[in-house]
């Protein structure tokens, strides 16, 4: 009898979750219970925090109640919480074990704790804290039937590292007493290396427990890490495990936390520092995609229609389009977190324009446009197509990009991460879809499989061990072209590391790399042959290419010559990145380019960035803007009635005779627009709510595209539409 009951429990657990978590395509995060204003109709919802979100304390519905409210509406319920911060006051104030633990916060040189909120410090992840997290949070959510756990933002601030808790971890890890990071580059490097390791160990510990406890209950628990990109963390001076996590067996995947707030961080190009949101987002998503591609881990891409910082609705809309376009230009990723915190998006008050102090909720036209966009993600296909342009060029990056940024030491300066952007922006701005390559992933054969020219520098990062150099040498020997840029003069070249200890006496790690390919001291600037490949040494730090006006001309010519030394290869310089992905056309046109001509598409398209979703014969995309279009000429089975675009999610489709009916759901207080493909012009239109009451709607017919346009108020209970012809 007990066995039968246990099997019944497992069946119920599966039914509660609704479907295999592996099939989840879209999700969002919220600390709130279900409400009609935030029902965005994704496959899953990440219910945030056993105790909620530190930034939103306006409610106190128990975790299980919040989970149930979403399950009752058909969602698969997942769990998200922070591993570096969260509603853990019972731990810090001693309720958990009778001891105060506020000394475990991350502390700056001046003695101040770094806070995420009231009584919510950023945490030094001690063994005791991790035990608390497992016992009081992870266990509870698994007991509630949750089978996907998201531990977000494993973050240790570069400016931290002065607490007693950190000093204890230092002694345990290094075997010698703590050294203040501000006193030398070596101390800075060692401090940040430890911060990295602490959160690597923390995630491994918590997720190992989650999987083991899940198995004890007959559940297959999946574990994910929502994290900013390596680019952003390096620029914001935060240390996090990043790429190394991808090879941990207890990690099932990631969320790439990229949005306007990360991508608007200014960078240099052609001597000018400013925001370049699309370009930065493209590189951020790329660094996340390349981090996991060789490992086969699942990746969700995040976008946010607003951001943490208070701006205005016009600014949000413009930059949302830029980041949304950037994510779609990675056709090998088709899982999405469509938004975080819908409660602040739909219910928050923000300025109507940059020059106005008037605040209002999300404008109707923007919520409609946003819902059209996020509903395409429920159908966004994977694609083998490539982004237009010369492929096969990569930029090497490593986790140690996060180790050198703070504090600043004499002899080292890297404004706005320019030593990274100096390798990537000169190419991307000229329409080359440059890829990022992770040093930690070189052991996977897929990592360099499609790379013909690899650009690298140790000006702002250092190799964790010597193994990557062997893989690079083998790749060059087989025919790869390696560009090494760097003066190798920064003080971090001399930190206590493998290249100058344990029998090694190299002045810089590049000497080990270059010497392994037969290049001899003094490793002078020039071109060298190794096997079937080439190595070119440039004795410039990459930042010089972008911090100086026209500083990248020689660099571009060098890359062009190397790229075109391969038979049949031409480096195409242009101002556009474009991709066809199923029925969708995705385009971005770069500004700051000698070519200022617009990109023009001709055919039959639905404009998905326009809340009126008009049908266009011509779409002109100007420099500095993006486009997202539905290509009507790509429709499969055009005689079949179907919804092509909608600011709602479609359910319960029925095609019968000369009629087509369906139900649509989306948040209340928003306006739905739809474009529906039909065999003939509509002769009857019925729109009713869940109770059968008539809903006021407007419709028009476009003969050229054979589509019916509909507009009516949304409702999460569903609006039924029946069209006849």
- pLDDT, position 52: 74
Spatial separation of the C-alpha atoms in residues 617 and 625, rounded to whole Å = 19
Q: What is the mean pLDDT of residues 508-516?
A: 98
Considering the domain architecture, whether residues 64 and 153 belong to the same structural domain is answered as yes
- pLDDT, position 2: 39
**Domain membership flag for residue 309:** no
- pLDDT, position 58: 53
Average pLDDT, the chain: 94
- pLDDT, position 46: 98
Q: 169-186 burial, b if ≥16 CB within 10 A, otherwise e?
A: bbeeeeeeebbebbeebb
Considering the domain architecture, whether residues 542 and 656 belong to the same structural domain is answered as no
Is the predicted pLDDT of residue 54 greater than 50, yes or no? yes
Give me the numbers of helices (H) and strands (E) for the chain, helices first please. Answer: 18, 35
Is the predicted pLDDT of residue 212 greater than 50, yes or no? yes
Q: What is the mean pLDDT of residues 456-461?
A: 97
Is the predicted pLDDT of residue 137 greater than 50, yes or no? yes
**Domain membership flag for residue 614:** no
- pLDDT, position 296: 86
Percent of the chain past pLDDT 70, that is, above it, reads 96
Judged by DSSP in three states, 695 sits in: coil
Tell me, rounded to whole angstroms, the distance of Cα 242 from its chain centroid: 12
| Residue 450: burial class (beta carbons within 10 Å; 0-12, 13-18, 19+) | exposed
pLDDT band, very low/low/confident/very high, at 193 (cuts 50, 70, 90): very high
Which domain covers residue 67, as residue numbers? 2-251
**Domain membership flag for residue 716:** yes
- Encoding tokens for residue 521? 């001291």
Considering the domain architecture, whether residues 559 and 653 belong to the same structural domain is answered as no
- Mark which of 519, 548, 564 sits at the end of a domain: 564
Packing angle of the helix pair 185-216, 164-174 (nearest 10 deg): 90
CA dihedral for 664, 667, 668, 673, sign (positive or negative): negative
Considering the domain architecture, whether residues 665 and 530 belong to the same structural domain is answered as no
**Domain membership flag for residue 693:** yes
**Domain membership flag for residue 606:** no
Q: What pLDDT, in 10s, does the model give residues 246-281?
A: 778 999 999 999 999 999 999 999 999 999 999 999
Considering the domain architecture, whether residues 44 and 148 belong to the same structural domain is answered as yes
Contacts of 680 (CB under 8 A, 6+ apart): 658, 706, 725
User: CB neighbours (10 Å) of residue 91?
Assistant: 24
Total domains in the chain come to 3
**Domain membership flag for residue 385:** no
- pLDDT, position 22: 73
* Lowest mean per-residue pLDDT among 202-206, 442-446, 667-671: 442-446
- pLDDT, position 544: 98
What is the CATH classification number for the domain harbouring 513? 3.40.50
- Encoding tokens for residue 313? 């609705």
What is the CATH classification number for the domain harbouring 712? 2.60.40
pLDDT band, very low/low/confident/very high, at 59 (cuts 50, 70, 90): low
- pLDDT, position 348: 95
Q: What pLDDT, in 10s, does the model give residues 641-696?
A: 999 999 999 999 999 999 999 999 999 999 999 999 999 999 999 999 999 999 99
Q: Which residue has the tokens 């329409």?
A: 431
- pLDDT, position 55: 63
- pLDDT, position 532: 97
Spatial separation of the C-alpha atoms in residues 223 and 147, rounded to whole Å = 9
Q: What is the mean pLDDT of residues 74-85?
A: 97
**Domain membership flag for residue 663:** yes
- Mark which of 564, 588, 619 sits at the end of a domain: 564
pLDDT band, very low/low/confident/very high, at 117 (cuts 50, 70, 90): confident
Is the predicted pLDDT of residue 469 greater than 80, yes or no? yes
What is the CATH classification number for the domain harbouring 118? 3.20.20
CA dihedral for 689, 693, 694, 695, sign (positive or negative): negative
- CB distance 153 to 122 below 8 Å: no
Considering the domain architecture, whether residues 94 and 189 belong to the same structural domain is answered as yes
Considering the domain architecture, whether residues 104 and 218 belong to the same structural domain is answered as yes
Q: What are phi and psi of 258, to 5 degrees?
A: -120, 130
- CB distance 191 to 161 below 8 Å: yes
**Domain membership flag for residue 108:** yes
Is the predicted pLDDT of residue 17 greater than 80, yes or no? no
- CB distance 302 to 260 below 8 Å: no
- pLDDT, position 675: 98
Q: Running DSSP on this structure, what letter comes out for residue 423?
A: H
- pLDDT, position 244: 84
Q: What pLDDT, in 10s, does the model give residues 335-391?
A: 999 999 999 999 999 999 999 999 999 999 999 999 999 999 999 999 999 999 999
- Mark which of 231, 251, 271 sits at the end of a domain: 251
Beta strand ranges found along 15-67 (DSSP E)? 26-30, 44-48
pLDDT band, very low/low/confident/very high, at 623 (cuts 50, 70, 90): very high
Considering the domain architecture, whether residues 134 and 221 belong to the same structural domain is answered as yes
Considering the domain architecture, whether residues 549 and 695 belong to the same structural domain is answered as no
């Amino acid at each position: 009898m007990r066995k039968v009951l246990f099997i019944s429990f497992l069946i119920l657990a599966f039914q509660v979750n609704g479907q295999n978590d592996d099939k989840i395509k879209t999700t969002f995060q919220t600390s709130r219970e279900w409400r009609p204003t935030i029902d965005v109709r994704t496959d899953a919802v990440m219910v945030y925090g056993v105790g909620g979100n530190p930034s939103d304390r306006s409610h106190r519905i128990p975790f299980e109640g919040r989970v149930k409210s979403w399950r009752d509406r058909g969602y698969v319920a997942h769990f998200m919480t922070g591993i570096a911060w969260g509603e853990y006051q019972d731990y810090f104030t001693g309720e958990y074990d009778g001891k105060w633990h506020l000394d475990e916060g991350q502390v700056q040189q001046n003695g101040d704790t770094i806070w995420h909120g009231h009584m919510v410090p950023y945490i030094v992840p001690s063994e005791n804290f991790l035990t608390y997290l497992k016992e009081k949070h992870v266990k509870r959510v698994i007991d509630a039937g949750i089978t996907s756990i998201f531990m977000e933002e494993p973050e240790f601030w570069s400016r931290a590292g002065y607490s007693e808790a950190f000093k204890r971890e230092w002694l345990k890890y290094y075997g010698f007493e703590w050294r203040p990071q501000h006193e030398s580059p070596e101390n800075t490097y060692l401090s940040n290396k430890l911060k990295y390791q602490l959160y690597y160990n923390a995630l491994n510990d918590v997720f190992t427990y989650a999987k083991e406890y899940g198995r004890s209950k007959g559940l297959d628990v999946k574990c994910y890490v929502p994290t900013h990109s390596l680019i952003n963390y390096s620029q914001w001076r935060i240390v996090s495990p990043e790429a190394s996590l991808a090879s941990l067996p207890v990690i099932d995947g990631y969320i790439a936390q990229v949005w306007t707030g990360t991508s608007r961080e200014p960078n240099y190009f052609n001597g000018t520092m400013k925001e370049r949101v699309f370009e930065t987002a493209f590189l951020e998503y790329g660094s996340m995609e390349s981090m996991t591609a060789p490992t086969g881990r699942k990746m969700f891409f995040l976008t946010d229609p607003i951001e943490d910082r208070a701006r205005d609705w016009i600014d949000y809309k413009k930059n949302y389009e830029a980041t949304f376009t950037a994510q779609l230009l990675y056709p090998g990723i088709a899982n999405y977190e469509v938004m975080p915190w819908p409660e602040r998006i739909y219910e928050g008050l923000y300025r109507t324009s940059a020059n106005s102090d008037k605040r209002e909720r999300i404008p109707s036209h923007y919520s409609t446009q946003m819902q059209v966009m996020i509903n395409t993600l429920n159908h966004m296909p994977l694609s083998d197509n490539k982004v237009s342009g010369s492929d096969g060029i990569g930029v090497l990056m490593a986790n140690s990009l996060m180790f050198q940024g703070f504090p600043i030491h004499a002899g080292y300066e890297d404004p706005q991460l320019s030593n990274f952007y100096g390798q990537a922006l000169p190419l991307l701005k000229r329409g080359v879809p440059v890829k990022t390559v992770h040093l930690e992933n070189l052991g996977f054969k897929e990592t360099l499989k499609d790379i013909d020219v690899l650009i690298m520098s140790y000006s702002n990062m250092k190799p964790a061990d010597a193994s990557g150099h062997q893989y690079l040498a083998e790749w060059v020997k087989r025919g790869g072209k390696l560009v090494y840029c760097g003066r190798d003069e920064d003080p971090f070249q001399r930190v206590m590391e493998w290249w100058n200890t344990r029998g090694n006496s190299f002045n810089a790690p590049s000497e080990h790399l270059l010497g392994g390919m037969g290049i001899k001291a003094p490793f002078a600037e020039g071109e060298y042959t190794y096997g079937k490949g080439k190595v070119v040494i440039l004795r410039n730090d990459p930042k010089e290419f972008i911090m100086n006006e026209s500083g990248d001309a020689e660099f571009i010519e060098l890359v062009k010559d190397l790229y075109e030394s391969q038979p049949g290869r031409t480096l195409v310089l242009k101002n556009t990145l474009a991709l066809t992905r199923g029925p969708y056309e995705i385009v971005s046109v770069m500004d700051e380019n000698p070519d200022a001509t617009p990109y023009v598409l001709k055919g039959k398209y639905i404009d998905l960035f326009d809340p009126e979703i008009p049908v266009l014969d011509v779409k002109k995309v100007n420099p500095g803007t993006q486009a997202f279009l539905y290509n009507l000429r790509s429709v499969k089975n055009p005689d079949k009635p179907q919804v092509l675009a909608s600011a709602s999610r479609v359910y319960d489709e029925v095609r019968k005779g000369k009629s087509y009916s369906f139900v649509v759901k989306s948040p209340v207080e928003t306006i739905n627009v739809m474009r529906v493909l039909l065999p003939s012009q509509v002769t009857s239109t019925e729109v009713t709510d869940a109770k059968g009451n008539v809903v006021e709607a407007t419709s028009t017919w476009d003969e050229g595209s054979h589509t019916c346009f509909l507009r009516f108020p949304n409702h999460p209970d569903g609006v039924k539409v029946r069209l006849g012809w």
